[in-house]
Amino acid sequence: MEFSEVIQEAINTLTVNKLRTFLATLGIVIGIGSVIALISLGQGTQKSVENQIQSLGSNLLTVSPGSSRGGFVQGGAGSATTLTYEDAKAITTSSQITTINNVSPELSRRTQVTASGNNTNTQVIGATSIYSEVHKVSISSGNFLTQYDIDGQAKVAVLGPQVVTDLFGEGTNPVGSSIRISGQSFRVIGVTVSKGGTGFQNQDDVIYVPITTAQKSLFGTTSLTSIAVQAKSEEVMVQAQDEVGYLLLERHRLSDPTQADFSIFSQNDILNTASSVTGTFTALLSGIAAISLVVGGIGIMNIMLVTVTERTREIGLRKALGAKKKNIITQFLIESIILTFAGGIIGMAIGILASIIISKVISLPFSISFGSIILAIGVSGAIGILFGWYPAKKASDLQPIEALRYE
Amino acid sequence: MIQVKDVSKIYKTGDIETIALDKVSFSIKKGEFVAIMGPSGSGKSTLMHILGALDTPTSGEYTLDGESVESLSDDELANIRNRKIGFVFQSFNLLPRTSALQNVILPMMYAGVPKAERLKIAEKYLDMVGLSDRMNHTPAQLSGGQQQRVAIARSLVLNPSIILADEPTGNIASAQADEIMDIFKKLNKEGHTIIMITHEPDIAEHAKRTIYVKDGKIVN
């Protein structure tokens, strides 16, 4: 008996009772569909988080005030006031530092901003001229902050596109207009290009002002909320982290690194943390979906057992006509594999469709991996074998006389 | 060609032993047309199962074409049933929703006959039983007599040593029963060995020899 004939015969048998065949595969369809959709959405989320973090600038180290280890009571990240503009200057000029390109001291706070009768609450970042290079900020009109603005504590501001929309309306060019930040008047000198991103930090909803202006005029502080340090390449990240760390320990007169009053993260650290969080969620959700696969498999086994009982006479006849055990096993196993395999293919199609729709709706990048397709096909086939084996074995073990007598 | 020597079959249900066949011995030569007769419960069905390699005897020897059958494995028995025995059942036992042609082809699939050859052989035998115009009909579209003729065609395709018919006319109207018996007689004339189990004397009359079974023993 040729293999193609076995398959043809199985398909013929399965199409006799279409409703039953459909209901039997439904469990697998739902199981595979939800696993595929969840893996796809998980990967989409991961990709979106990665894109956002990468867009903040690669080979970047972020120095934050406050200990990363902390004590029993730990202040929120960035709440300490141990980093100063002088620290940033020292990193730039120190002879101990050999692996660093740019240093961007930053002071950011949320504050109230008004212009032409509109007001909004937004992130105001005190920055230097190097900020745009370190964080890959591009200008769509006007200019970014210059060294001249920094030195002169100029009351100038560069707006993110979201702020422009909020204060001046969409599509207007505010360059040359004035806005009030915390009651002080600033002249708009530029607008940045949209970076997109909706997640945990909207990079379009910010205002950049000179760091000196931010420290002295706006917030009245000498401290920084962070120093972004750009390493020369990704390969020297670890070395750069050490160099900056030891320099700051020395400047802060600390001998024990565990007592450090600052912490240094690389973009990779943040990326890894974010990835592992989304990865865990994806695995968890897929695991729950996989349970429905097992339930689907039991459904297949149930229906195959019913089929074997129903077709006892047929099995007896086939044996009387010369079918060997392996012929009967193959016949029933192929039937259950076709059931689960068809369920797997349909489930995959539905899962992909669902994840396309969902990722459209919540604006995630759509992502489907070759691996999850292989997984769907492999798992559905394996379920067919696993849950079809027992009914097939039962069929093949029937004695021909008993089976022929069966009414 | 068939030699049955001291064959016994004992069924055990718990502690109770039922003797279905009690040291039965007989032989059937090639080209014979034998009827096995007996009342129900006489053991003739058990005898047929053993002759058909559907079951093995508890003790004794059964030799078919010089080959001992009593101690073969399940798969070896399947081979014997496939190659050496053509079954014709009382209730036809055709696959439902399957054409006459496909039903006749089925034993050849298990025997591994090449695809092109199968079709030719199946058509030849369906033609022989007078059903060349109904090859694509399913059993439901055929009369009882026609279904039994499909079953006879199916029993012949692998050119078996014996055709084993179990009450072949039991479910058929008498006019059609005569047609079936005519086919058996014609096959016998062509040299086929036919063993027919029946409890109807007028059907048994068509055979050249009759073996009577009663209480698991052969009586004369």
- Domains of chain A, by residue range, sit at 3-52+273-405, 81-260
Chain A residues close to B97, C-beta within 8 Å: 12, 16
Cross-chain CB nearest to B75 (options A16, A320, A324)? A324
Question: For chains A and B, what is the number of CB pairs under 8 angstroms?
Answer: 56
Does any CB of chain A come closer than 8 Å to the CB of residue B168? no
Number of residues that make up chain A? 407
Q: What is the pLDDT of residues A213-248, one digit of tens each?
A: 999 999 988 889 999 998 888 788 888 888 888 898
Q: What is the pLDDT of residues A281-314, one digit of tens each?
A: 888 888 888 888 888 899 999 999 999 999 999 9
> In A169-203, which ranges are continuous DSSP H helix?
none
pLDDT of residue A143: 92
Chain B residues close to A1, C-beta within 8 Å: 109-110, 112
* Alpha-carbon distances of A251 from A55, A101, A182, A243, B206, rounded to whole Å: 31, 20, 33, 12, 119
Chain B residues close to A318, C-beta within 8 Å: 106, 110
Cross-chain CB nearest to A5 (options B49, B75, B109)? B109
Indicate yes or no: CB of A323 within 8 angstroms of CB of B78. yes
Measure the CA–CA gap between A159 and A150, rounded to whole angstroms: 16
Chain A residues close to B114, C-beta within 8 Å: none
Q: How would you label A256-287 residue by residue, b for 16+ Cβ within 10 Å and e otherwise?
A: eeeebebbbbbbbeebeebeeebeeebeebbe
Q: Which chain B residue shows the shortest CA-CA distance from A17?
A: B97
Alpha carbons within 13 angstroms on the beta-carbon side of residue B83 total: 13
Best mutation target among A310, A321, A404 (most B Cβ atoms within 10 Å) is A321
Cross-chain CB nearest to B93 (options A16, A317, A325)? A317
CATH number of B29-56+73-219: 3.40.50.300
pLDDT of residue A197: 57
Indicate yes or no: CB of B106 within 8 angstroms of CB of A318. yes
Across residues A354-374, what is the average pLDDT?
Answer: 87
Asked if B44 and B196 count as a contact pair (C-beta separation under 8 A), the reply is no
Give which of B77, B79, B134, B71 is closest to B104, Cα–Cα.
B134
Give which of B2, B145, B130, B129 is closest to B62, Cα–Cα.
B2
Residue A73 pLDDT level (bands cut at 50, 70, 90)? very low
Average pLDDT, chain A: 86
Across residues A325-341, what is the average pLDDT?
Answer: 94
Q: What is the pLDDT of residues A89-119, one digit of tens each?
A: 888 888 888 888 899 999 999 999 998 888 8
Quote the minimal CA–CA distance from B163 to chain A in Å: 12
CB < 8 Å from A in window 82-101 of B: 82-83, 87, 89, 93, 95, 97
Tell whether the model's pLDDT for residue A77 goes beyond 50: no
pLDDT of residue B117: 94
Cross-chain CB nearest to B49 (options A324, A327, A401)? A401
Tell whether the model's pLDDT for residue A362 goes beyond 50: yes
pLDDT: which is higher, B32 or A200: B32
Share of chain A above pLDDT 70, in %: 93
| Token code pair at residue A158 | 């560069």
Q: Which chain A residue shows the shortest CA-CA distance from B48?
A: A401
The secondary structure of residue B93, as a DSSP letter, is: -
Residue type, A183: G
Chain B residues close to A313, C-beta within 8 Å: 93
> In B54-200, which ranges are continuous DSSP H helix?
74-84, 100-111, 115-128, 144-156, 174-189
**Predicted TM-score (pTM) of this structure:** 0.74
Indicate yes or no: CB of A320 within 8 angstroms of CB of B83. no
Measure the CA–CA gap between A294 and A373, rounded to whole angstroms: 18
pLDDT tens for chain B, 220 residues long, are 899 999 999 988 888 988 999 999 999 999 999 999 988 888 888 899 999 999 889 999 999 988 898 878 889 999 999 999 999 999 999 998 899 999 999 999 999 999 889 999 999 999 999 999 999 999 999 999 999 999 999 999 999 989 999 999 988 888 889 999 999 999 999 999 999 999 889 889 999 999 999 999 998 7
